């Protein structure tokens, strides 16, 4: 059985999307969910090659998530088309991916998986604010994880 592929996408791939990737990996491991591969990317190439933002790294580390080994990259049409689920952090990201891969299915917003989030709201970019904004971003990401993992299980046929 091929692993379900899930890609989280934000603007530069240094804050929100790698945070979501690491949180999803952590939750899947904790729940014993196997047969899934989480990755992340950005719709922009401006941060390509850069590690996770230091503020994001600190928040993830403080909550027990892995932070090593990340290098930002821009998403490709091939990545979008190959993935079972491509999760944007804002509507802008989903729109950009639709233009890049017009026939792709499985595009959605992370907040679609949070029953308490305003439909279509997305998660704001904490990069422009202070370190406290990253804690709020983490909380928003974690609120969506039960729904993300449930979707993965459905994609696996469980």
Q: Which residues participate in catalysis according to the annotation?
A: 10, 16, 125
Handedness of CA 104, 109, 115, 121 (dihedral sign): negative
β-pairing, 85-88 with 36-42?
unpaired
30: Cβ–Cβ under 8 A, 6 or more apart, which residues? Answer: none
Per-residue H/E/C for 5-27? EEEEEECCCCCHHHHHHHHHHHH
114: Cβ–Cβ under 8 A, 6 or more apart, which residues? Answer: 140, 143, 144, 147
132: Cβ–Cβ under 8 A, 6 or more apart, which residues? Answer: none
């Amino acid at each position: 059985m091929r692993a379900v592929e899930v890609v989280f996408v934000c603007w530069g791939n240094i804050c929100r999307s790698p945070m979501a990737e690491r949180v999803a990996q952590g939750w899947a491991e904790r729940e014993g969910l196997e047969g899934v591969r989480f990755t992340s990317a950005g719709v922009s190439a401006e941060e390509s090659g850069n590690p996770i933002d230091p503020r994001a790294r600190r928040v993830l580390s403080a909550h027990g998530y892995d932070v090593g080994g990340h290098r930002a990259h821009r998403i490709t049409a091939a990545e979008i088309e190959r993935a079972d689920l491509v999760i944007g952090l804002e509507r802008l990201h989903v729109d950009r991916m639709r233009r890049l891969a017009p026939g792709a299915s499985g595009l959605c917003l992370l907040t679609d998986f949070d029953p308490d989030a305003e439909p279509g709201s997305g998660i704001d970019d904490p990069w422009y604010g202070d370190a406290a904004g990253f804690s709020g971003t983490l909380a928003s990401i974690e609120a969506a994880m039960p729904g993300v993992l449930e979707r993965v299980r459905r994609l696996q046929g469980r």
